[in-house]
Amino acid sequence: MSRYTVIIIGSGFGGQCAAIRLKEQGIDDFVLLERREFMGGTWAQNTYPGAAVDVQSPLYSIESEPYDWSQMFAEQAELREYTEHVLAKHGLRDKTLTHSNVEKIQWNGEQQCWDVQVKERGLLQAQFVINASGPLSTSVIPPFPGRESFTGKAFHTNEWDHSYDYKNKRVAIIGSGASAAQIIPAIAPDVAHLHVFQRTPHWVLPRPDYVFKPWQRRLLRNKTVYRLLREIIYWSLESRVIGFKYSEKMLDLVAGRRARQHIKKQISDPQLQKKVTPDFTIGCKRVILSNTLYPTYCRDNVTLHDKHDGIESITAHGIKTTQGNDLELDLIIYSTGYDATDGVISYPVVGKEGVTLADVWADFPRAYLGTAAPGFPNLFIVTGPNTGIGHTSAIFVIEAQMNYILRAINEVRDAGKTVVEVDAGAEERYTQHIHEEMAKTVWQTGGCNSWYKSKSGKVIAMFPGFSFTFRRWTKRFRRHDHHIA
């Protein structure tokens, strides 16, 4: 059985950042475990037509890894190239075991380490585990009645089947969130007919994309220029938190007004305008950036079904709507999202005295700095509870978490000890503070039901404040909030 100092679970940007930082600190005795046959996480997995990032690429990139992006909002192929560049530059392929699906991890009190059960490889052990299994990695399809009976083609956006030619086919897409908003304009011109099933509309703002000219790309290779651009983007996005948290009125006045104008400018049919207009405050759900979604809804070969004409059942040949219409279909695309809140970790975690993380999180997921939980020593959760950021780059938050994780690991090693565990009182105080702050935010009060909320009704996906506050908190390791033994 192999034993490592650190096992990292997941090879997306979370796993990559962890590996890079471990190497920088001279900790080389680690392995990355990846359940897929390929590395890279989100941008290797999501290959659907139109896939692209929603945060400007100079910011949605690893701080120490600038890149000469071809456009402001990179498309999936370029994000994958970037990922390949990072993996190659840091020699991460040699440190990764693909086809390694972690099925369970359990704290081994006797040996003071984690037993990591891997489906394809049996038992591995590690002193520390960094879980980077991804907040949006495990896709979900709700149990629509009759789903299994459909005889046409069907897949989730996360598992796009490129061997299937959707051209001239009768297609339905279920869901109208961020992925669907990219797929709909990308495929509509090629399909015979596209039925879009929207449960609730999202607010949509124009996408300020920009293709960099060759001389600008050359400039992006300059680290100082890259950093400057990153700063400008960062602060312009960060100012949105003022609206998210401190002034819903201002949010509505500035962003809400722009979104309503966007609808009026791009859609002339009042019925369609009504269908796409949300009844909650902008920002409550993730805002979609698109210049092409609304014009696509206006096409003759696209039908938008709202909640008054939803899915009654899936039949052998298509979808029966709640208005009693039978739609004949060749392809159903499930754009129904991810197990992002209550199932934030994709495998069972058993801590001290056999207590599971699922038990501790029965009410709602919670963790100190969204990263550490009492009873689960030497375990760090990347993109854990309340670390989500709707307005800026998830990589910024991931990198902040790495400050804390590396400090914690080094504290143990420097002290010649083996275990670090967050104090239960410290975690309780942190969680209480987070939810007190959350009460003021648009995610809690904006009148929507989003995937940011767990079944408890608490918003557990988002961090209720400025991302620089989170980064500041992670920079200092508070020794008195931890037990080191």
Ligand X SMILES: Cc1cc2nc3c(=O)[nH]c(=O)nc-3n(C[C@H](O)[C@H](O)[C@H](O)COP(=O)(O)OP(=O)(O)OC[C@H]3O[C@@H](n4cnc5c(N)ncnc54)[C@H](O)[C@@H]3O)c2cc1C
Residues that bind ligand X in the complex, under the rule CB under 6 A: 9-15, 33-36, 41-42, 46, 53-55, 60, 100-102, 132-137, 179, 346-347, 382-383, 393-394
Question: Which residue, 22 or 33, has its beta carbon nearer to ligand X?
Answer: 33
The DSSP output letter for 213 is P
Q: Least CB distance from residue 300 to ligand X, whole Å? A: 28
Helix (H, G, I), strand (E, B) or coil at 195: strand
Of 39 and 327, which CB lies nearer to ligand X in the complex structure?
Answer: 39
- The residue among 54 and 209 lying less far from ligand X, judged by its C-beta, is 54
3 by Cβ neighbours in 10 Å (0-12 / 13-18 / 19+) ranks as middle
Residue closer to ligand X (CB basis): 43 or 107:
43
Beta bridge partners of 170: 193
Of 100 and 290, CB closest to ligand X: 100
Report, in Å, the least distance between residue 295 CB and ligand X: 22
Sheet with 193-197, strands from edge to edge, namely: 153-156, 331-334, 170-174, 193-197, 302-305
Residue 178 C-beta: closest distance to ligand X, Å: 6
Q: Dump the DSSP string for 25-78.
A: TT---EEEE-SSSS--THHHH---TT-B-SS-TTTSS-TT-----SBSS-BHHH
To ligand X, the closest distance from the beta carbon of 318 in angstroms equals: 26
Measured CA to CA, the distance from residue 240 to residue 25 in angstroms comes to 35
> What residues pair up with 130 in beta bridges, in sequence order?
8, 380
CB 112 within 8 A of CB 102: no
Nearer to ligand X, 471 or 478 (CB): 471
Of 319 and 349, CB closest to ligand X: 349
CB of 12 to ligand X, least distance (A): 2
Shortest distance, CB of residue 399 to ligand X, whole angstroms? Answer: 11
The three-point CA angle 58-437-139 to 5° equals: 55
User: Can you give the length of the chain in residues?
Assistant: 485
**Nearer Cβ to ligand X (37/110):** 37
Q: Cβ(321)–Cβ(166) under 8 Å? A: no
Residues 6+ apart with CB under 8 A from 260: 277
* Nearest-approach distance from CB 55 to ligand X, in angstroms: 4
Least distance between ligand X and beta carbon 244 (Å): 15
Q: Which is nearer to ligand X, 10 or 446 (CB)?
A: 10
Among 319, 293, 340, smallest CA distance to 154 is for: 319
Which CB sits closer to ligand X, 205 or 219? 205
Owner of token pair 């992002």: 340
Strand bridging mode 113-118 / 122-131: antiparallel
The CA-atom distances, in angstroms, between 140 and each of 44, 53, 383, 423, 466 are 18, 21, 19, 34, 30
**3-state SS of the chain: helix, strand, coil percent to 5?**
35, 20, 45
Nearer to ligand X, 394 or 409 (CB): 394
For the CB of residue 215, give the shortest distance to ligand X in the complex, in Å. Answer: 27
**Using CA atoms, how far apart are residues 350 and 347, in angstroms rounded to an integer?**
10
Nearer to ligand X, 152 or 177 (CB): 177
Shortest reach from residue 274's CB to ligand X, in Å:
28
8 A C-beta contact, residue 175 and residue 304: no
Q: Tokens standing for 207?
A: 């996408």
**Residues 264, 378: Cα–Cα separation, whole Å:** 53
Q: State the minimum distance, in angstroms, from the CB of residue 388 to ligand X.
A: 9
Pick between residue 297 and residue 396 the one whose CB is nearest to ligand X. Answer: 396
Our CA dihedral for 431, 435, 437, 439, rounded to 10 degrees, sits at 180
Q: Are 300 and 192 in contact (CB under 8 A)?
A: no
**How near is the Cβ of 234 to ligand X at its closest, in Å?**
12
The least CB distance from residue 341 to ligand X, in Å, is: 14
Can you list the positions of beta strands (E) in 151-259? 153-156, 170-174, 193-197, 204-205
- The count of other CB atoms within 10 Å of the CB of residue 97 is 16
Nearest CA to 135 out of 362, 475, 460 is that of 460
